Each structure stands twice: as structure tokens, then as C-alpha cells.
Amino acid sequence: MKIPCLDLKGQHQQIKNEVFEQFEKVYENTAFSGGPFVENFENAFAEYCEVPHAIAVNNGTNALHLALLALGIGKGDEVIIPANTFIATAWAVSYVGAKLVFAECTTDTWELDINHAESLITSNTKAIIGVHLYGQPCDIEGTQALAKRHNLYFIEDAAQAQGAEYKGKRVGSFGDVACFSFYPGKNLGACGEGGACTSHSEALTKKIKRLRNHGCDVRYHHEVIGYNMRMGGLEGASLGVKIKYLTSWNNKRRAIAKRYLNEIKNDKIQMQSQPEETNSVFHLFVVLTEDRDDFMSYLNKKDIYPGLHYPIACHLQNAYKHLGHNAGDIPVAENQASKCISLPMYAELTDEMVSTVIKAVNDY
């Protein structure tokens, strides 16, 4: 039996009829761009994240881009992000013309290292993006305090963490703005592409809504140079169905993660530490091992197909060659990139599949 890192088929079979019913309604209403299905989802998502405002957009990368634009970040400004994240966190900073400053991660949680981030702050630093990596909230209070001390904006990159909790409160409500992705493979994924910003601020919400819709508050009155970053109606409708299942799917991932955490016993395998104040949604279950390639081929021989998240740290990507970083500049993040491997993780994994993975890892 093949065990992939992720399989979206089970989830989509389960909800197919319900989603197709909604698709039919979108079709009948020709509500293909924005519209009532997207607005319904926005309301449901804001409520889910315990924030007053959610603004749906066409993907998570653009949610980050719009958040930075709405905060007025641009040329001459510096934004600190962790070096170990999906590249889209960095793209957003590049899109607005600000300077990317890569920070280290901690050796145990693998989340943004607050002390290293603080050492990188200059008079030009405007914002810090905390990424809730693999579904686990970053050091939110630490980042909030840091932002406050230095008068910076705190943006949550919650693309991997829909429903994750910090001290009992859901992510998306802690930063000046939080950004989510609904890429199909995320814990809450659209049948298509999608993203959202959440915020407590009505003023920021208004700016983001204006920017996503050609700079308009009123049709054909373009107040600023805007973008077309609206969410499609079919995507909004699919998310409106799927959000009702998110907590139960997240809890299934948590139960699988609990088994991995309790039952994997192998000195060659390091797992992400789970601080008491966090309640991860385990978007990915990443472990570190010294000889990653060897471990990968070992698992493949047992018909287990892990993923890699992410094999090259952002500062060493060819796209950022011009920034002049060298191997060894951000050693903990680089170590993470060279040793990470993602065990299978999705709600539909059976007990038997999980047992197979655990046995294989323990026998390594």
C-alpha cells in the first residue's frame, strides 16, 4: 500500500455532493467573481478566526502582498522574515520594493528566533512577519513584544495554520494583519486557489478591499493604483462548505501527530518541539535526520513517500543571489533545510497507515 505525503482525494470524495450543490448555485447566479458566496465565506472565516474582518483574495501570496501595501511598506523600508519559510513570504516583501532581512529560527521549535530578529532591527525596519510554520504558531507574544518595543508592524503568515491556537486563541487575531492561503494542499484549501487577510482594523480592511478590486470603493472610481486580486465565486463556495469541516479535519491531524510524537522512538529522528502555549494544526509533520537522502530512499523502498519542506532556505535561493548571502550565514535555518523530511500527514490517513509509518521510522 502506497502512503503518500498528502492525498486530497479522500477529503474531496467525502464532500463532493455538498460542494457540487454550491457550485450549481454559483452557476445559476453567475456569481463568478467575488459576490455572495465569497462574502458568506468571509463572514464565516472571520468568525472562525475570532476577528472582526476577513478579506478574501485570489491566493495567499497576494494576501501577503496586499497586507504590506496596505501598511504602507515600500522602498527604503526593511522587513524581517524567517529564512526557513515557503518562498512566498519573501516574494511579498520583494513585490513592494522593501529590503528583505532574513532571520534565524530556533533549534527546537524551528520558528522565528526573536533574539536574532531583534539584532537585525535598524532605523529602517518597518515590519516583522512571523510564520506559523507547519501549522504551529510562532512565538506570538515574543514577536508582539518585539514589535511594540521597536514600533514595528507584526504580520502573521498563517498560510499553514488555519485553526491553530496560541494560549487558546486562534491565529489570525494577533498581528496587525494576518495572511492565509487556501491553496488546495493547505489544511483549509479551495477547489482552486485562494487566500485571505484578517485584521482588527477597519481602516486596514478598507485599504485591502480597495487594493484587491482595482483601487475602487465605488465601481469605476479608482482611488489608488489597484490590483485584480478578488476571489472567484466557485472558490468561495467550496471554502464555505469546507470550513464547516476544518475543526474535525484539524483534530484528526492532531490525533495522527500525537501518535507520531508518542510512538516514534529513534535517536536518528528529531521532531519539532511543541510549546505548551501552542496548539498546532500539523499542516505538515516535519522531522530532521542527519542523512536525509538515505532516510528518503529507505522509506520509498517501504512504499512511503515523504515530502521536503523546504530543501533550500530562502536566502540561498537563486532568485535572491543578488542579495549576496552565502552558505553558513543563517546556520540553523540551513541545517533545517538540509535535514528536513515531511512524514505523511492528512486527515484521511488510516490507523494502519500511521502504524506502518511509525514502524518504518522506528526500524530505521
- Please identify, using beta-carbon distances, which residue of 64 and 360 lies nearer to ligand PLP: 64
User: CA 330 to CA 337: how far, in whole Å?
Assistant: 11
Name beta bridge partners: 58. Answer: none
Q: Quick one: CA dihedral 133, 354, 245, 31, positive or negative?
A: positive
> Residue 60 or residue 236: which is nearer to ligand PLP going by CB?
60
Of the two residues 104 and 356, which places its CB atom closer to ligand PLP in the complex?
A: 104
Q: Please, what is the minimum distance in Å from the beta carbon of residue 360 to ligand PLP?
A: 26
* Residue 109: CB minimum distance to ligand PLP, A: 15
| Residue facing ligand PLP at closest CB distance | 60
The nearer residue to ligand PLP, 22 or 61, going by C-beta atoms, is 61
Nearer to ligand PLP, 135 or 361 (CB): 135
Gap between the Cα atoms of 140 and 161, Å rounded:
13
The angle at the Cα of 322, spanning 318 to 328, to the nearest 5 degrees, equals: 70
Residue reference for cell 518595543: 149
Is there a contact between 174 and 166 (Cβ–Cβ < 8 Å)? yes
Nearer to ligand PLP, 26 or 90 (CB): 90
Phi, psi of 107 (to 5 degrees): -80, -15
State in angstroms the smallest separation of the CB of 87 from ligand PLP: 8
- Smallest distance from ligand PLP to CB 61, Å: 3
Minimum distance, C-beta of residue 65 to ligand PLP, in the bound complex (Å): 9
Please report how close the Cβ of residue 355 comes to ligand PLP at its closest, in angstroms. Answer: 28
Q: Is residue 154 classed exposed, middle or buried when 0-12, 13-18 and 19+ CB atoms within 10 A define those classes? A: buried
Give one word for 133, left, alpha or beta, with left for phi > 0 and alpha for psi -120 to 50: beta
Minimum CB–partner distance for residue 314 and ligand PLP (Å): 11
Closer residue to ligand PLP (CB): 136 or 160:
160
Hey, is 346 helix, strand or coil?
A: coil
How far is residue 215's CA from residue 209's CA, in Å, rounded to a whole number?
Answer: 8
Q: Which residues bind ligand PLP (CB under 6 A)?
A: 59-61, 85-86, 88-89, 131, 157, 159-160, 181, 183, 195
Q: Rounded to the nearest 5°, which phi and psi values hold at 326?
A: -120, 155
